[in-house]
Every structure is written in structure tokens, then in C-alpha cells.
Structure 1
Amino acid sequence: MAGLADSGSNPDVDLLYDINGLAKAAPPWVDGIMGFMGEFGLLFALLGLVVWCWWGVRRRGGEDAAPTVAALVWAPLAAGVAVLVNVPIRGFVERRRPFYDHEGLEVLVDGKTDFSFVSDHATLTMALAVGLFLANRRLGLVALVIGVLGGFIRVYMGVHYPTDVVGGLALGTAVALLLSPPAMALLTPLMRAVEQSRRGAWLIKGRQARARVIPGEARSSEVGGRDLAA
């Protein structure tokens, strides 16, 4: 708790020391898991949820399949756009990582030399989570919890201030929501075109697409046969 006294009663720094203090008290193997989850694990988990949702949509099919797949495509695109938006923000603010200015932090990963605000990880995870929420409310709620948890872990790891994470969560949410209407206006017709194509239909409706194409081909052959016979 010495960090609290040295923080100058700054709530952001106080909370940083409180959360990072959990890493000091935890066994090394717990910190190892938290470090992996904060760097890679939760991001992979979110991508896995997106793929799982797509697979379910593909198996179920239905009229809403193409719009749902369009929303799932938007999720990783939104994450990429949000990180690009963050590039000038980080360059403008130029906030150093907390371990450069505050002693006694338990830093769980090395090599973090870039700026701290806004957190790229929090931005990525929340943009993915919100994008998934637009496609599937149930899985989206799980993803939102994962996104918030990922932000908490970044502070736990000693590589971000809490406000870095809050900024990242807000940025990812804003990009995914505000740009969703134009993105869906472009992606939904594209996914419908893929759905109607012979080679890409399986990406949207799976077996239903194959069942639809094969009888169609059969009818075409029958009509061709009658024409030849005539």
C-alpha cells in the first residue's frame, strides 16, 4: 500500500496500485496465466466466439443468415479500424507506461515501450465484443464481459493505467457502434451476393446451400434434356 501514499492522491494511480497489488500477492503461476490471458488469451477467446457464432448461423441458415454474417464480418473490421483511430490519439497524448513513472509495480510482461493511452488491447477486445453483440445478443454479452475483464487484466499486469483501459473500452465501443450502419449497408448486400453464388453460398447457409444448388442443377438438366428431345 506504499504506492497509495506516493501517488499524490491521484485516483487513477491509486486504483492502479490497488489492482496491480493483486499481482504481487498472487502466486507466480497465477501471474503467468493472467499475463498470457491479458496479452493473447482473451483476444483469441473473442475470435473463437465470433467463429462459433458464424458456424451456428451457417448450420441454422434462414433469412437472417446473411445480415448476421455481415455483422460478424464487421466485428474484426471494427477492431482494426478502432486500432487505426487510436494511432493518432496515442501520438497526441504521449502518455508513458505507468511503470516508467511509478515505482513498485509488478510488471508481468516486458518490452512495452510504446505509449499507454489509449490501450490497444482494450480497444481491440471491446470493438470485437460489441461487433459480436450486434450479431448475437447472448454470445455478445459473454464477449462484453470478456472485454471488460481484459481491460482489468491490463491494469493487473502493470502496463496500463485504469483510464487507459476506460478510454480503450470507450473507443472500441464508439467505433463498432457508430460505424456499424454504413458498414452493414455495405456488407449485408455483399453477404447476400455471396449467399446467392454457387461457390460462396456454403459460407452463409452450409448444407442448405448445397441442398438448394443440387436440385436446381437437376431441374436445369431435366429442362435441357426435354429441349434436346424436342
Structure 2
Amino acid sequence: MTASSALAFDGSHIDGGLYRSITDAARHSPHALDRAVGLFSSYGLVIFAVLMLLVWWRARHADPGTMAQALFAPIVVTAVFGVDMLVKSAVREARPCRSLPGSFTIESCPGAGDWSFPSNHTVVAFAAAAAIWVVDRRLGAVAAVAAAAEGASRVFVGVHYPHDVVAAAVLGVALGAPLARWSGRQAALVERLRTGPLRPLVQAG
């Protein structure tokens, strides 16, 4: 056992049983399903980048405040991710696939020191969904479903406990939504951009 793993927090007593039930289901699932979930779990965040681009494109027809929220969405997600990393470093929870011997994983178990709580993928997904929802309810609903699927997939592939995902979802929304609303106050920036050479990027027509 390394010094890093010896100092790690063991979250298996919280919902390790539920984690095992989910990963056992993955163990007995068709290989094609496991592969599909694994690919989505690893690369599903691309969906949110595409949705944020769509939000920006649609916001070109909207008022300056809405466009400001669309422009700041990636910044909001980055800020929430930064907070997530601080929490992760403070808690130092070992991955379930390291704490629970014999755990089945679709994705390779991360190395010692790659902490589990909260889930990075999930916090990014939910922060993005919250930022998108503030700007565009229809695209936000799509993002919310994708975020829930991303979070669930992180447990299914075996690299996170359910509580890692739930905490990440709460953190993503709790910080992402108010930050996205605050960014609407930067309407003056968009108004200036709409009178300069970058006007085609922030205003349709």
C-alpha cells in the first residue's frame, strides 16, 4: 500500500453495497451495452460542448443579457470544475475499484491519488446543464437528461460510488445556476461587442 492510498478516505461504507449491485449488473450485461456505456462515459462531455455552441448560436437573436450568459457558459463550467478539484483534493476519497477488492470495471481503474469524490465528469455535465438551462430551457432539458446519463454511467463503468455522482450533481447545479444568472449582468460587454468587428459573433444579421 502506498502512502497516498494509506491516507485516502474510504467511502465504501456509505453506499459500497449499491455500487457493487450496479457494477455486478454491468458484469452480466451484454458486451455491446458495456462498450456503449463506456464510450458514452468517457466522451459524453462532448455533447455539452455542442449544446453550448447551439446556445451561443441561438442567443445571437436574443438580448445582450442572454448572449452574455451564453458566452460565459464555458467560463462558468470551468469555475465550477475548479471548485470540484479543490473539494476532491480536500476529501481524498479512494476510488471504489481500489477500496473494494474484486470490483468489476468497464473503464480501467484510475491510479492511486486520482481521487473519487466528487465525480469530475458529473460536475462538469451538471454545471453545463445548469448554465444551458438558464439561457435556453429546451436545450437545457436535453442537457439535463444527458447530465443524468453521464453521472449514472460513471457508476456503471465502476470508477465512482453513487454518492460521488450525487454530490457532483448538487455541486454542479448549486454553483452553475447562480453563476450563469450572474453572467447575464455582463450585458454591457455584449453591447460593446455588437458595435465592433466581432458583431457577427454576438448578433444575427
Instruction: Report the TM-score when normalising by structure 2.
Output: 0.86
Q: Is the 8 A contact 1:65 1:205 kept in 2?
A: no
User: Between the two proteins, what is the percent identity of the paired residues?
Assistant: 28
CA distance in 1, matches of 2:30, 2:124: 28
How far apart, in 1, do the equivalents of 2:110 and 2:188 lie? 42
TM-superposed deviation, 1:137 = 0.5
**Count of equivalent residues:** 192
Deviation readout 1:60-111 (Å, 9 max, x if unpaired):
x2xx343222112222211111111122211111100001111332212225
Aligned to 2:185: 185
Give how far 1:27 is off: 1.9
Residue 116 of structure 1 aligns to a residue whose secondary structure is coil
Report deviation, 1:13: 1.3
Tell me, which stretches of 5 or more residues in structure 1 are unaligned? 1-8, 209-230
Q: Please show how residues 126-137 of structure 1 align to structure 2 within 5 Å.
A: 126-137=126-137
Q: Is 1:36 aligned to residue 39 of structure 2?
A: yes
With the length of structure 1 as denominator, give the TM-score of the two structures: 0.77
Gaps of 5+ in 2: 1-11
Of Structure 1 and Structure 2, which has the larger fraction of its residues in helix?
1
- Superposition misfits of 4+ residues, deviation over 4 angstroms: none
Which structure: larger Rg? 1
Q: Residues 105-144 of structure 1 correspond to what in structure 2 (within 5 A)?
A: 105-110=103-108, 112-113=110-111, 114-144=114-144
Shift of 1:22: 2.4
Classify the secondary structure of the residue corresponding to 2:203. Answer: helix
Q: CA RMSD in A?
A: 1.8
Equivalent residues in 2 for 1:94-109, closer than 5 Å: 94-109=92-107
**How far apart, in 2, do the equivalents of 1:83 and 1:170 lie?**
13
State how far apart, in whole Å, the 1-side matches of 2:56 and 2:90 are: 38
Higher relative contact order (CA 8 A, sep 6+): 2
Within 1, Cα distance between the matches of 2:192 and 2:109? 45
Distance 2:65 2:89 in 1: 36
